[in-house]
Chains A and B, each alone.
Chain A
Amino acid sequence: MKKKTFAIFVGPSVFMMVLFIAAPLLSVLWQSFHVTQPVYEQVEVETCTPGLLGSVCTTEMKTRPLLSDNGKILTETTFVGLQSYRNVIEPEKLRTAIARGSWRDVMNIRFWSALRFTLVFTILTLPLVLGTGLLIALAVNNTLQRIKGPVIFVSLLPFIITPVIGALSIRWLFLGDGILTAGLEWWLDRDIAMFAQAWTIELMMYIYRVWHVAPFAFVVFYAGLQTVNNDAVEAAIIDGASRWQRLRYVIIPHLMPLVIFLTLIHLMDAYRVFEEIVGFSASAHVISLQWLTYEFLLQDGTGARAISRASASAILTMIGIAVLLGVPLRRVWREQRAS
């Protein structure tokens, strides 16, 4: 292909990627090193507010932002270096916690407890998603041709449901005296509160994520199974390979590129775990890195946000994903070079 033709074909998508991916990323990076604040003045203000029994008037010094000529709040931006990052990861607290050798103290720092959950969540759900997906794919592949269509449709349902809605519906099954909690209580004859301690909430989140994402792994594996070379399988049968040996030595090696593909996608998705925290109202017990970013971005009661810390936390999340992806990506890269 001529260079010019190539440029014409690629140009639009490069432009879009710069506009919608690179530019926002750079802006987040820039904001994580800067702090933008309104310029405040102290003024004496008389305020009268309604009470039930009549107005209450007070005169007090108030901190009010200055307005510029065009009526907008006057702000100034200063370079703060790594201050916002320090505010997020709280290195001094971490150092004292480590010096004391107390895991509990480390987990009481929000960033580190969020990192702990995010990593465990990502790494624990990965093999479960791959395994469940493969099992469903093998099962569907071996069902009767007649009912394959409906079975595939039903297996895909959890993936079609919007994540937050799915999480909420599972939460309602368990919250308070929800159907499943009531059922468990009746069966085990004891009082159960699924949302009263961290481990039950975490367990529900793991199960939910596997339930939700396994269908995606299933579809990918199912497609892969259609391309398995039947001659190789037949040869294995003739050689006396058992069902397990065929799976282990013929089918799984064939599906390996798909396993890596799914691993990459899952690591990226699971590291950004957020819907589960919202859906299961988990924030009192466990939080994730994305939740931390969201918390910084959320307006406080008087409308202010912590944009710089939110940016720093977002950049840290990105770095985390990049590190996690490094392992499988290096493998792919080595294979590519070898071939």
Chain B
Amino acid sequence: MKPRHILLTGAMAVAANMAFADCMNAVPVKTISNAFPAYEIMTGVMAGCGNVESELDKDHRLKIVDAFSANPSLYSMTSLTNSTSVPMIDADLLRPLDDLIAAHGANLNPHQFIEIDGKTMAIAAFANTQHLMYREDILSDLGIAVPTTWDEYIAAAEKIQAAGVVDYPIGHYMKDGWNLAFVFVNHYLGEGGEFFNADWTPSINNEKGMAVLERMAKLGTLMDPEYLVSDTTFVTKQMQQGKIAMANLWASRAGAVNDPAESTVSGKVVMAAGLRGAERIASTIWWDGWAIAKNISDEEAEAAMKLIVAAMAEDVIQANNDDAIWLAKGFVPGAAAKGAFDTAAGDAVPYPMNKYIGSMHSALGSGLAAFMTGDKDAATTLADIEAAYVSDAKEKGLLK
């Protein structure tokens, strides 16, 4: 595609979204959000209503607590997830939305609301999870059944590796830090593990933790050896370029792997439920949505609410049906959403919404790489991570 075409398509996409927006906005509103297609669509619609300034930033979570603590808040609204909602709610930086929903939110689904003690603090736009994406052609050529558990997945990957039809049988977001830790979190939950004892001391140094590490090491041998720098985007590209045959990937990328504009294997990738561990599906359910700042005028909050409603209008969702697992009205689950729905219909649990998991996730993020590179054995790794969690949680005042 020539640059001019890209520009043109981009302009058309914005224009298309603007055409849907049945809204006029007179009050200046500023938004900050994560940066991926679903948010580009919603902020695009908001821009069409006028007087909206949007900032899309992958690292928005590092800004929002400080930005919303200011009075007046530097942004009128922000995107929010299970995890980023914790510090915002703790510091009381979000405006309860019940009155605004009563006035403007008749078109929203009640199951979009995030309620804390009966007060609605945020409105989810879409859900996200991780599930299997596989090359239908390769699996059927080799006569491999679609795997449903991680053990079957590894067995299938070994067959694909032996057949040598792709560079590497699988890809996985195992980038050092948050991603690598997230893989452990999902697998540990899949094994039925509990991260904490009743007094919030850590409990990962056990058989389940060892089983997870063993599996992660096994997965490492089936991937591009540079997997410690591979994040979700990297895996998406591996899939799009036909370098891998299977991946357990974020549902938000299901559209991209089959997008003919980006993918050389479009139409060949099929979605299936997340893979099971010993106890349950080793994936977590996330919600993604919007929340409005507490420290802004009522007028601005009302304008922000109207924009949120406009961005989730039925015609917007219908026009962008395959770009996310929308929770708003108008969504018809298609082939791209199949994996996510099967995962949710299974027994996958939500990513925990508490402060301790933040500290645990960091400790895992800096402690796991040494195991993957072979510098530490599994037992030492888990013991060191528990120690790192304790010292971190103590410094943050979470443990005595």
From B27-35, B98-106, B300-308, B351-359, the one touching the partner chain is: B351-359
Q: Is the CB of A300 within 8 A of B358?
A: yes
Asked if A308 is at the interface of the complex by the 8 Å CB criterion, the answer is yes
Q: Across the interface, which residues of A come within 8 angstroms of B361, CB to CB?
A: 300-301
* A198-B373 contact given A50-B127, A50-B287, A281-B229, CB 8 Å threshold: yes
From B16-24, B309-317, B338-346, the one touching the partner chain is: B338-346
Asked if B391 is at the interface of the complex by the 8 Å CB criterion, the answer is yes
* Number of A-B residue pairs with CB-CB distance less than 8 Å in the complex they form: 170
Bound-state CA distance A285–B124 (Å) is: 38
Question: Quick one: CB contact mask for B46-64 with A, threshold 8 Å, 1 for yes?
Answer: 0000000000000001100
Q: Across the interface, which residues of A come within 8 angstroms of B395, CB to CB?
A: 35, 37, 84, 87, 306, 308-309
Q: Across the interface, which residues of A come within 8 angstroms of B88, CB to CB?
A: 303
Nearest chain A CB to B77 CB, angstrom units: 17
Q: Across the interface, which residues of A come within 8 angstroms of B62, CB to CB?
A: 298-299
Q: Is the CB of B114 within 8 A of A304?
A: no
Interface residue ranges of B360-376 to A (CB < 8 Å): 361-362, 366, 369-370, 372-373, 375-376
* A302-B358 contact given A65-B90, A108-B380, CB 8 Å threshold: yes
Q: Across the interface, which residues of A come within 8 angstroms of B372, CB to CB?
A: 284
Partner of B369, one of A56, A104, A195, A285: A285
Nearest chain B CB to A190 CB, angstrom units: 13
Q: Is the CB of A108 within 8 A of B384?
A: yes
Bound-state CA distance A158–B359 (Å) is: 40
Q: Is the CB of A53 within 8 A of B345?
A: yes
Bound-state CA distance A35–B396 (Å) is: 8
* A306-B226 contact given A52-B127, A73-B91, CB 8 Å threshold: no
* A110-B118 contact given A55-B111, A62-B354, A301-B361, CB 8 Å threshold: no
Asked if A176 is at the interface of the complex by the 8 Å CB criterion, the answer is yes
Q: Is the CB of A283 within 8 A of B116?
A: no
Interface size of A as a range: 35 or more
Most buried by B among A48, A57, A67, A306: A48
Number of residues from B at the complex interface, CB < 8 A = 71
Q: Is the CB of A195 within 8 A of B362?
A: no
Asked if B246 is at the interface of the complex by the 8 Å CB criterion, the answer is no
Asked if B117 is at the interface of the complex by the 8 Å CB criterion, the answer is yes
Question: Quick one: CB contact mask for B260-273 with A, threshold 8 Å, 1 for yes?
Answer: 00000000000000
Asked if B187 is at the interface of the complex by the 8 Å CB criterion, the answer is no
From A38-46, A205-213, A327-335, the one touching the partner chain is: A38-46
Q: Is the CB of B117 within 8 A of A46?
A: yes
Q: Is the CB of A304 within 8 A of B228?
A: no
Most buried by B among A51, A73, A196: A51
Asked if A54 is at the interface of the complex by the 8 Å CB criterion, the answer is yes
Q: Is the CB of B176 within 8 A of A73?
A: no
Asked if B216 is at the interface of the complex by the 8 Å CB criterion, the answer is no
Bound-state CA distance A8–B88 (Å) is: 49
Q: Is the CB of A193 within 8 A of B356?
A: no
Q: Across the interface, which residues of A come within 8 angstroms of B83, CB to CB?
A: 301-302
Bound-state CA distance A107–B353 (Å) is: 34
Nearest chain A CB to B76 CB, angstrom units: 18
Q: Is the CB of B92 within 8 A of A71?
A: yes
Q: Is the CB of A51 within 8 A of B350?
A: yes
Bound-state CA distance A306–B327 (Å) is: 36
Q: Is the CB of B325 within 8 A of A306?
A: no
Partner of B114, one of A39, A49, A108: A49
Which residue from chain B places its CB closest to the CB of A280 in the assembled complex?
A: B229
Q: Across the interface, which residues of A come within 8 angstroms of B375, CB to CB?
A: 104, 107-108
Bound-state CA distance A110–B178 (Å) is: 17
Q: Is the CB of B87 within 8 A of A302?
A: yes
* Interface pairs A-B: 5 shortest CB-CB: A303-B87, A37-B397, A302-B358, A284-B176, A196-B225
Chain B residues in contact with chain A, CB under 8 A? 61-62, 65, 69, 82-84, 86-88, 90-92, 110-118, 124, 127, 129, 175-178, 180, 200, 224-226, 228-229, 234, 285, 287, 289, 325, 327, 340-341, 344-345, 350, 353-359, 361-362, 366, 369-370, 372-373, 375-376, 380, 384, 391-392, 395-398
Besides A51-B127, A302-B355, A303-B65, 17 more A-B contacts (Cβ < 8 Å) are A40-B398, A47-B115, A49-B82, A49-B124, A50-B327, A51-B287, A51-B344, A53-B345, A56-B350, A63-B200, A108-B376, A176-B226, A194-B226, A283-B369, A284-B180, A300-B362, A301-B362
Chain A residues in contact with chain B, CB under 8 A? 35, 37-40, 45-57, 62-65, 67, 71-73, 84, 87, 104, 107-108, 110, 175-176, 193-198, 281, 283-285, 295, 298-304, 306, 308-309
6 contacts between A and B (CB under 8 A): A48-B115, A49-B82, A49-B124, A107-B375, A303-B86, A303-B87
